[in-house]
Amino acid sequence: MGKKISDFLSINVFKGDMGIWMIYFLLCIVSLVEIYSAGSNLTFKSGNHWEPLVNQAFFLSVGFLIILAMNSIPCKYFKLIPVLGLPIAAILLGWLLIQQKALNDAARWIDIFGIKFQPSELAKSMLILSVAVIMAKVNQRKLLPDTGANRETNRMNMRRAFYHAGVRILIICGLILPENFSTAAMLFLVMCVMMYIANTPWRYLIKTFFALALFGALAVTVIMQIPDEALEGNGRVLTWKHRIERKILHISNDNQEDAYDMAENWQENTSHIAIANSNVIGLGVGNSVERDFLPHAESDFIYSIIVEETGVIGGVFVMMLYVTLLVRAWRIARKCDKYFPAFLVVGLSLMLVVQALVNMAVAVGLAPVTGQTLPLISHGGTSILITSFNIGMILSVSRYAQKVEARQKEEEENAALETIDAEFGSAEGMD
């Protein structure tokens, strides 16, 4: 009995790549510190100074349990998740489009049995899983050598896989697009990069980009010609039009005062003021000035508060955490001896890092306001849980990669020993 208890206590909870674990915990620490500092608006609404921090700690704790659960599952079983997960995500997105309630003219949340969540967060993970499965299958079916009839068979299989993946991508991104353009655009970009890594021919991707770019340019041209009064019934389209006018048209407009109108662009300009208040080391943690004036300082614009309080050093440090996560995920993918885990870890990490970089770009004024949160740092529930779900899968793949690496080293050592034994045996024979 004592031996069993000892074995139980000796179990390593933090399995997988320790670099990923360190990045995860550092992001959690930054999240708790900055939510406590930036959550003044939430505190004012609730009347409880500790409530934002407690809520964030709760979701991070549940997310940690999700990571442990997903990390304990062999990554090969993740292929089964999108079989039901993708249709469910599509149904929820469709339901979201027809529901009447909306927040800030954007119906991004649904309420099921009192639980609110964003279906787009679930859809992102399910689509990445589904595309990883499809592209892994077509790469495994490649015939060698790639000549003659084999080459034609390989092309036919790749074309079929491209169409299967493309239909799923267009459906999910199309359902997300009406109420969350930025998420749809990011997801589509990640899928294209993921398919390119999965050996999809350039010509397929170029044709797709050209067709969508042509359609997008036509749509923007039409929208810009429609008067604002005619778009009052569609708040998101009107919002897109105004953002295009502010970010693109003002570049060539000699009269740029409107772009800096605080009443018109309160969030963006207050975010810029917060960053301007900082320096190399910032104002100090907890000393933010603009958190009391910046809407969504605890979520969409939390990076502005991070930079204001910790300066350029803190801002670069947080950015490098995400970049390092992508680098480590790429190394994990290169160690895998199967396509599915390699494509999966690249897709999940790329989605997480692209979202983080977009959030930072918005905060510093390099991109229009998108409503994207900073993964694991921004205040939230659904995003934290789904991000934890994804990190759990990344860690599971890293465990698989470690086993592959250990097996390869063992095989190399055995081969070296066999070579030594053979040489030693031949030397004895000569004697």
Q: Could you give the number of structural domains in the chain?
A: 1
DSSP for 334-361 reads: HH-SSHHHHHHHHHHHHHHHHHHHHHHH
Distance CA 217, CA 209 (A): 12
In a domain, 428, yes or no: no
Please give the DSSP secondary-structure letter assigned to residue 396: H
When computed from its CA atoms, the radius of gyration of the chain, rounded to whole angstroms, is 25
In a domain, 7, yes or no: no
Distance CA 30, CA 417 (A): 49
Counting beta carbons within 10 angstroms of the beta carbon of residue 367, is it exposed (0 to 12), middle (13 to 18) or buried (19 or more)? middle
In a domain, 318, yes or no: yes
Distance CA 36, CA 409 (A): 47
Tell me the average pLDDT across 306-327.
93
In a domain, 391, yes or no: yes
Q: Higher model confidence: residue 186 or residue 271?
A: 186
Give the range among 2-16, 32-46, 183-197, 399-413 with minimum mean pLDDT: 2-16
In a domain, 4, yes or no: no
Output the six-digit token pair for 410: 């063992």
Residue type, 419: T
Q: What percent of the chain has pLDDT over 70?
A: 78
Instruction: For residue 116, list its beta bridge partners.
Output: 111
In a domain, 164, yes or no: yes
SS3 398: helix
Range of the domain at 188: 15-417
- Could you tell me which of 336, 331, 271 has the C-alpha nearest to residue 306? 271
Q: What percent of the chain has pLDDT over 90?
A: 39
At 320-361, the pLDDT tens digits run 999 999 999 999 999 998 999 999 999 999 999 999 999 999
The pLDDT of residue 384 is 93
Whether 235 shows a pLDDT value over 60: the answer reads no
| Residue 111: count of CB within 10 angstroms of its CB | 10
pTM of the full structure: 0.85
SS3 103: strand
Distance CA 54, CA 336 (A): 39
In a domain, 250, yes or no: yes
Quote the distance between the C-alpha of residue 395 and its chain's center.
15
Q: Is the dihedral of CA 65, 71, 77, 83 positive or negative?
A: positive
Distance CA 301, CA 318 (A): 14
Distances in Å between the alpha carbon of 133 and those of 53, 84, 339, 389? 38, 14, 9, 18
In a domain, 209, yes or no: yes
Tell me the average pLDDT across 305-331.
94
Length of the chain: 431
Whether 391 shows a pLDDT value over 90: the answer reads yes
